[in-house]
Amino acid sequence: MMRGVLMGSRVSGAVTRLLRATVPNGTAPTRAIHVARLNAIRATVQPALHTTLANEKVVSFMLADVGEGVAEATIVEWSVAEGDDVTEFDKVCEISYDKGNVDISSRYTGKVVKLYYEEGDLANVGDPLMDIDVDDGMVEEDDDTTNQVSSDQPAASTSSEATQGNTNNTGKALMTPAVRRLTREHNLNIDDIVGSGKNGRILKEDVLDFLEGKTSKKPAAQQQAPAATATTASTTPLPNAPPAPATSLQAEDVTVPVTGIQKAMVKSMTAALQVPHFGYADEIEVDELIKLRTALKPVAQSRDIKLTYMPFILKAASLALKQYPILNSNVNEDCSEVVMKGAHNIGVAMDTPQGLLVPNIKNVESKTVFEIAQELTYLQALGQQNKLKIDQLSGGTFTLSNIGIIGGTYLGPVVVVPEVAIGAIGKFRRVPRFDAKDNVVPVNLMEVSFSADHRVIDGVTIAKFSNAFKQFLENPAAMLSELR
């Protein structure tokens, strides 16, 4: 700012000195004429100079590369609006990409002049997110930037929307383009729909529930009585009139762009198609595991630890990987090198509001069952809040999918490239089995299914690994022999 002011004063002074040098030392009337000319020129030069300096103070804040080769990201939520003042390091927005969500902070102090995207839009890395006037008060505010209303949004009372909490500070209803399109297709007034998302955001489920009549309109005090009366009268059937046909929940096809986690899945599964998979499955008796967890659960509760079966399964997998380290590997793109990883960073597939994410627990080989349980609970909480970070979603060496908590027995998991193996755990089932004396006895079983990259893993190796994994779970006391 100071540099611009100094430049302006220097240039202005130079112009004055140049013009004064041309004023003759003649009579007073003649000199007065030249002084008038000097003032006229100064009045023309200085406003132009001021405008040029002001324009140079509006900078474009670009979307930087957040790492992992990200080329584009979705704008999840703006924390600022056009006309807001921001300071350096203030959060301006939250973006979502194929690895998770990231908060973007401002690099400048000033006033937001323009936002290039709406919430839900896709932004490319290297393109501007917003324009910031880094010199407060030097750039005149554009009246249009503070009063823009989406052309596809029905006119509504701003104060009424704010009362319901489903608008942002620009007066626009908070919803993604796909949800807005759905309201248009069904000719819905967005002011009638109460949003259940964060900050009153209207979700797709809110629109569908409204169409099905599961949710009511906003309080009648905020609706116009004459309009409501007219609507009621127009929909009242005449005597002996046939009933109106039931309207379809979705009368037309809806095109939804593939973004965020879905786009990451497309990329991951396309890469996995290049890998020849080898599958192996077995069933594991878990009666002793159930007894062990039951015995340790009170101890875990006294330490405020949620103890499920998954920490035992993760520890058993790590102990088996220690015996067969080739399964704890990454392979390069052309499969010319295999890197056997020293750390057991075991990924756990989780169902989150964003979709399926696979954070990993680092260094499982050096953690106790209780420590694994604590970290697993922590990652699950972050996943539900869409707050998983890049380092928690990258660097995996082996993956387990606990799909059994939803259902299913034998499965066909897909390898997460560049890893070389993955396991899927089925649900616990109580089934009849023959004992050593041919008596039918009840047994608790868990099915496990493994898939491996057949370019570097052969069937014998995955079978031996599965047997070691099975031994540790059927006889959990055997884990003690491997602990240090």
- Give catalytic residue positions: 454, 458
| 351: β partners | 356
The C-alpha angle 175, 100, 264, rounded to 5 degrees, equals 90
Residue partners of 87: CB distance under 8 A and separation at least 6: 106, 109
- Between helix 459-474 and helix 310-323 the angle, nearest 10°, is 130
Give all strands (DSSP E) within 359-439, no chain letters. Answer: 360-361, 398-401, 421-434
C-alpha 358/C-alpha 400 separation (Å) is: 9
Which has the closest alpha carbon to 170: 126, 214, 115, 212? 115
Q: Can you read off the two tokens belonging to residue 259? A: 């973004």
Residue 373, judged by CB atoms within 10 A of its CB (0-12, 13-18, 19+), counts as buried
**d(C-alpha 444, C-alpha 288), whole Å:** 9
| DSSP bridge pairs for 93 | 78, 104
- Listed residue (76, 195, 184, 82) closest to 131, CA to CA: 82
Collapsed DSSP state (helix, strand, coil) of residue 471: helix
Distances (CA, A) of 209 to 132, 194, 214, 217: 40, 10, 5, 11
CA distance 277 to 452: 6
Q: How many residues does the chain have?
A: 484
Asked if 312 and 300 touch (Cβ cutoff 8 Å), the reply is no
User: What is the side-by-side strand order in the sheet with 360-361?
Assistant: 277-285, 440-453, 421-434, 398-401, 346-348, 360-361
- Picking from 8, 10, 9, 18, the residue whose alpha carbon sits closest to that of residue 41 is 18
Q: Which residues contact 419 (CB under 8 A, 6 or more apart)?
A: 329, 330, 347, 396, 397, 398, 399
Task: Give the H/E segment covering residue 316.
Answer: helix 310-323
